[in-house]
Amino acid sequence: MQEKNKVTGTPVSRIDGILKVTGKAAYATDYPVKNIAYAVLFKSTIAAGTIRSIDTGPAEKSPGVLAVITHKNAPKLKTDGGIRGGALLQSPKIEFHGQHIGLVVAETYEQARHAARLVKVEYDKSEAKVDFEKLSKEAVLPEDKEKADAKRGDAKAALQNAEFKVEAVYGTPIEHHHPLEPHSTIAEWQGEKVILYNSSQIVNGAQNAAAATLNIKTENVRIVSPYIGGGFGSKGGQWANLVLTAVAAKVVNRPVKLALTRQQMVNSVGLRQQNHQKVSLAATKDGKLTALAHETTTHCAIENEFVEPCGDCSKIMYEVPNSLITYRVVPMNLILPTYTRGPGKSTGSFALESAVDELAYQLKMDPIELRLKNEPTRDPSNGKPWSSRTTVQCLQEGAKAFGWEKRKAEPRQNQQGNFLMGHGVACGTYPAHQRPSSARVSLNRKGNAITARVELAAADLGTGTHTILAQTAADALGLPLNQITVKLGDSDLPPAAGSVGSVGASSYANAVHDVCVKLTDELIAKSGKQFFVRPTAAQLMVSENVADYQTRVDAKPPANADQYSSHSFNANFAEVRVDIATGMVRVTRFLAVTGAGKILNPKTARSQIIGGNVWGIGMALTEESVVDPRWGNFVTRSFGDYHVPANLDIGAMEAIFIREDDRVSNALGVKGIGEVGIVGVAAAVANAVFNATGKRIRELPITPDKLL
Amino acid sequence: MRPFKFTTVSDISSATKSVAGKPNARFLAGGTNLLDLMKEDVERPEELIDITRLSLIQIKPLTEGANKGGISIGALGKNTNAANHPLIRQNYPLLAQAILAGASGQIRNMATNGGNLLQRTRCPYFYDVAMPCNKREPGEQPGCGAREGINRMHAIFGWSEKCVAVHPSDMAVALAALDAVVKVRSASGPERIIALADFHRLPEDRPEIDTNLRPGELITAIELPKNRFAEKSYYLKVRDRSSYAFALISVAAALELDGNRIVQARIALGGVAHKPWRALKAEQLLVGQEATEVNFKRAAEAEMADAKPLEHNAFKVELGKRSIVRALQVAFTGNRS
Ligand SMILES: Cc1cc2nc3c(=O)[nH]c(=O)nc-3n(C[C@H](O)[C@H](O)[C@H](O)COP(=O)(O)OP(=O)(O)OC[C@H]3O[C@@H](n4cnc5c(N)ncnc54)[C@H](O)[C@@H]3O)c2cc1C
């Protein structure tokens, strides 16, 4: 992947690594703002109804308390200003268990937390809709036009007449993003202006939402968010805690810090919704698909709709003449669901790729062969040509690297002592888009020493954005990596796309590349000379004796990008070991082969992919947020109950990238890798569990009890 | 956190005096459980008595008394040190395995042996003050959230309508199997010795009382009698992830053999009751029998026949049977794979 003399494509270690491991990288609550006060949120203990009375007297009198803010005294906010999930203390109405109903501000965190418990609340309860198993029967067509029934041909008829078919419902539970850094904010007012130190995956989005909700001008909000301790979608949209910190700071006329506790995360910042996905496949004897139906039923919030697109993979993965993709949704008294790593694709691929595996067993065909037989030459959903598609290479190279041919085709044939071994494969995909982003680059020369500063309001979730942008700039300017400074995560910088939907790397790297090219062009023009060999910006600074030079670009995706269907693709291979007596599953080996365009940095890219894989393994085996169907509360509120995989759950992880040169998607040929790493993973694991045990588990997670 | 008074003591008698007559005072050992519960407002002590300076950390062979030839484990020693101590590794590997199956390296470095026995249930309804829990709010008797709620992790033996919680300790399960005793002191009266099997109690009508420790009593040591189980023992923990999760079911199994004939058997189960559950029925069925899979199964089935599962944990009955058999097999053969 490396081009000659380029640092792009080389496995450079994170340039901010030392800052992070020495604790010098400041996260949202690390800023040494003076005279700070602490806010603690308190939450409803019912899921539906209204607050009849709220007695804040004892809390207000508690030592150190500066203010108690509830719907009774909160400043008026705009509730449709772009903050997700409501809970802005504007009304006594309760729509979910654990909705914010107020906050205490005090001199210390402990004082605020204590006082928050002294608030006495009485409610008028109404009937809460919290039992998805019952309510799913009442689900209706979503308002979102993109979730309208999508039909091609007649899938139902084709299914009826099919010789071979699979019809099954796949269940995925509620999951939480649970980034290691819980959502946290410091708000500091300076006159009309408020600075919000906050973890934001979309810096300008947070700025706009905060300004609109607070009813102030956009330029009066500054978001500072250079480092983020993970987000996975939960820090994409912004939630009430951001704005309520600003409100608290205004009320007490001091800077205020508000950090959510782990327990508060479950009902403050969205979730991945529970889905029932019915997938139906029909095929001929020789494995040609004749119909594919993917029907999703899920839930959303009472007032707000969000439906993750579980049918997306089914739209494009296979050549099939008859296709049906539908969604039904039921409002529930639970917090608004939101984008969660690989939204729709991670969950949707579990259903689709499990069903494909089931079909392969029915046809007695290798599941790789079945997939290869149904490879589409164009995007079946819209007829557009692929910008590039690597599914076949991913499967073939993966099969070789993984030793697929040694797998036992029949289930339950591979016992080793107390364990059954199994192998599974599943594919995945995620769209690749570039979004408009601006960037500024400034060059400075002291003698022959030239340094560059690259600036844009991009977000680095901890994935290595600073590093890949320094690499991009170094090559484009002709400077060594260590002469580049990258400044991100500040709304005072040129506006940029969010680090969401896997658009970050392509949007930012193209903007940085463009601005460096533009700067070089401008220096050439300024020189008034003609060059046989195009000089670098670094050379021009010296030859033209320039001390300082700066320029900015507003980069946009290529004009013809949407004439093509652009996606990253992968194939996932899992080896599992299942304890015959106890049903405990361990993924002993996992391989992800990914085609994601140009890989800017194989080291950070590998981390991204195996990070996605680890969550996918968690999704397959351990992660589940459980709601008590009587009251709507989560019973899994800590990492003791919500089981993200531990080190011991993860075996040997391998990531392979397919070389590809896709200049159609965007000028640099960069596709995203943030999401595709989780897509197809759970299916690969579940398929391996079937291969090991002969048990087809269609309800995630595959906990030991399901295999007894 | 509610405000509390913090008192530091340096010896047993000042520790017991400091707590005497104060129902709302608590000893603070490693703090890995108590502080979590205070942050969640579940425990609301008015005073903490820091006992970490007491010199009750030794692990030493017992040269006299009822458990002569056995071992004494200081109550304030760390779980990590107990698990790694050569005397424990050699003579009581079951205990070392059980400790290492619990929590994480970091937590075991803080957690003390006495604190481990007194850690409170992990029932989510107990931990969430917005939920009803008779164990947490005994005076008000608000009901048990888990009885009709999400009770996959809960008890299948010995529960009551008031409480279906399980005791979370792994260490205590091995100690129950190994016939440990707990030594306690108080401001008034002589030292008491409580058999581990009687240390924890069933919930009955008073789920707020986890153990038979009396108010104001300080655990000073845990003693283990000499035994012949070191060669043939195994701690099996079945859980939702490979480490850092509480047991769905755990089994401490130990055999003393004469050839293939079982002279003595010890089996205790974790994750099934409000206390470590000694599988006495299974043990009795095994004594005098050959160590065979058939006999292991018969014993396991007899033990689990009395189980009374709740709505979401019926799987624990079958899992319990299989786990007992597996643990006995591994104890017998030494082959874990
Ligand atoms: C995330 C997490 C995971 C865990 N996983 C496991 C697991 O898998 N298996 C497992 O077994 N455990 C597990 N634990 C629990 C852990 O083992 C206990 O928290 C620990 O053993 C408690 O010891 P401590 O010294 O910290 O007790 P503390 O928290 O200090 O005290 C606990 C209680 O004991 C009392 N106490 C302490 N010492 C004495 C004494 N000498 N005399 C009288 N009273 C005393 C205290 O007053 C308090 O009420 C886990 C804990 C955490 C936080």
- Crossing angle of helices A602-621 and A681-693, rounded to 10°: 50
Domain-embedded: residue A388: yes
Task: State in Å: Cα A181 to ligand 1 middle.
Answer: 26
H/E stretch holding B320 = helix B315-333
ipTM of the complex: 0.96
Query: Would you state the pLDDT for residue B2?
Result: 87
Domain range spanning residue B268? 233-333
Domain assignment present for A298: no
pLDDT in tens, A329-349: 999 999 999 999 999 999 999
Q: Do A100 and A69 reside in the same domain of the chain?
A: yes
Residue B153 lies in a domain: no
**Total domain count, chain B:** 1
Higher per-residue pLDDT: B1 or A33: A33
Question: Does the residue A496 lie in any domain?
Answer: yes
8 Å CB contact of A643 and B41? no
Instruction: Tell me how far apart the alpha carbons of residues B237 and B255 are, in angstroms, rounded to a whole number.
Output: 18
User: pLDDT band at A197, cuts 50/70/90?
Assistant: very high
| Environment class of B258 (CB within 10 Å of its CB; exposed 0-12, middle 13-18, buried 19+) | exposed
Contacts of A581 in chain B (CB under 8 A): 322-323, 325-326
Nearest CB partner across the interface for A643, out of B129, B241, B337: B241
Calpha distance B320→A581 (Å, rounded)? 10
Q: Which of A98, A695, A687, A680 is nearest to A350 (CA)?
A: A680
CB nearest to A705's CB, from B39, B319, B336: B319
Q: For residue A637, which residues of chain B lie inside 8 Å, CB to CB?
A: 124, 127-128
Domain that holds residue A443: 3-25+434-556
Question: What pLDDT is attached to residue A2?
Answer: 52
Q: Could you tell me if A581 and A646 lie in one domain?
A: yes
* Residue B108 included in any domain: no
Residue A3 has pLDDT above 70, yes or no: no
- Regarding whether A538 and A587 lie in a shared domain, the answer is no
The CATH number of residue A543's host domain is 3.30.365.10
- pLDDT, position A4: 72
Determine, yes or no, domain membership for B304.
yes
| Residue B76: inside a domain | no
Please tell me if residue B139 touches chain A, with a CB cutoff of 8 Å: no
Q: Is there a domain that residue A31 lies in? A: no
Contacts of A348 (CB under 8 A, 6+ apart): A277, A294, A296, A309, A310, A311, A312, A313, A314
Q: What is the pLDDT of residue A623?
A: 98
Domain-located, residue A137 = no
Q: Which two tokens stand for residue B285?
A: 């069925």
Residues A506-534 have pLDDT tens digits of: 999 999 999 999 999 999 999 999 999 99
Amino acid at B109: N
| One domain, residues A442 and A393 | no
Mutational pocket test of ligand 1: of B112, B211, B220, the residue with most ligand atoms within 8 Å of the beta carbon: B112
- Burial letters B222-250, b for 16+ CB under 10 A, else e: bbbeebebeebbbbbbbbbbbbbbbbbbb
According to DSSP, the residues that pair with A452 across neighbouring strands are A443, A484
Cβ-based contacts of A621 with chain B (< 8 Å)? 241
Distance from CA of B188 to the nearest CA of A (A): 35
pTM: 0.97
Render pLDDT for A38-65 as a digit per residue (tens, 0 to 9). Answer: 999 999 999 999 999 999 999 999 999 9
pLDDT tens digits, residue range A572-599? Answer: 999 999 999 999 999 999 999 999 999 9
Instruction: Provide the phi-psi class of A304: left if phi over 0, else alpha when psi is between -120 and 50, else beta.
Output: beta
- The helix or strand, by DSSP H or E, that contains position A2, with its residue range, turns out to be none
In this predicted model, what pLDDT tens digit does every residue of A636-651 receive, in sequence order? Answer: 999 999 999 999 999 9
A56, A117: one domain: yes
Is the separation of the CB atoms in A594 and A568 below 8 Å? yes
C-alpha of residue B105 to centroid of ligand 1, in Å: 14
Range in A475-479, A560-564, B138-142, B307-311 the model is least confident about: B138-142
Does B141 contact A at CB distance below 8 Å? no
Kindly state whether residue A386 falls inside one of the protein's structural domains. yes
Mapped onto helix, strand or coil, the DSSP state of residue B34 is helix
Whether residue A640 lies within 8 A of chain B, CB to CB, comes out as yes
User: Cβ contacts (< 8 Å) between A701 and chain B: which residues?
Assistant: 240
Residues A619 and A656 in one domain: yes
Residues 6+ apart with CB under 8 A from A212: A78, A81, A82, A218
Q: Which residues of A are catalytic?
A: 675
What b-and-e string marks burial along B136-153, b requiring 16 or more CB atoms within 10 Å of the CB? beeeeeebbbbbebbbbb
Asked whether residue A506 falls in the same domain as residue A572, the answer is no
Which of A556, A586, A616 finishes a domain?
A556
% helix / strand / coil in chain B, to the nearest 5? 30, 20, 50
Is B176 among the domain residues? no
A521 and A543 together in one domain: yes
Of A506, A539, A556, the position where a domain reaches its end is A556
Interface residue of B147, B151, B240, B250 to substitute, partner A, most A CBs within 10 Å: B240
Do residue A547 and residue A571 come from a single domain?
A: no
Q: How far is A586 from chain B (nearest CA, A)?
A: 8
CB A439 within 8 A of CB A455: yes
Residue B337 is predicted with a pLDDT of 86
Q: Is residue A276 part of a domain?
A: no
Q: Is A442 found in the same domain as A385? A: no
Residue of A nearest to B321 (CA): A581
Total CB pairs under 8 A between chain A and B: 98
From A321's Cα to the closest Cα of chain B, the distance in A is: 42
Pair A419, A472 in one domain: no
The string of DSSP letters for A73-97 reads: TPPP--TTSSEET--SS-SSEE-ST
CB–CB of B319 and A638 under 8 A?
no
As a whole number of angstroms, the distance between CA B156 and CA B171 comes to 20
Residue of B42, B123, B164, B241 best to disrupt the A interface, most CBs of A under 10 A: B241
Flag if B246 and A419 touch (Cβ within 8 Å).
Answer: no
CA–CA separation, A492 vs A501, rounded Å? 23
CATH number at residue B246: 3.30.390.50
Distance from CA of B333 to the nearest CA of A (A): 13
Look at residue B266 and tell me if it is in a domain. Answer: yes
- Could you tell me if A501 and A577 lie in one domain? no
Nearest to A581 among B145, B242, B322 (CB): B322
pLDDT band at A1 (very low <50, low <70, confident <90, very high): very low
CB count in 10 Å sphere of residue A310: 32
- Amino acid in the structure at residue A220: N
Residues of B in contact with A583 (CB under 8 A): 238, 319
CA-to-CA distance for B77 and B60, rounded, in angstroms? 12
* Count: domains in chain A: 3
Please name the residues between 50 and 89 in chain B that touch chain A, using a CB distance below 8 Å. none
Counting as low any pLDDT under 50, the low residues of chain B are: none
Helix/strand/coil (H/E/C) assignment for every residue in A342-378:
CCCHHHHHHHHHHHHHHHHHHHCCCHHHHHHHCCCCE
CB contact under 8 A, B1 and A636: no
Which residue has the least CA distance to atom 5 on ligand 1? B103
Q: To which H or E segment does residue A642 belong?
A: none
User: Rounded to the nearest whole angstrom, what is the distance from the C-alpha of residue B169 to the centroid of ligand 1?
Assistant: 8
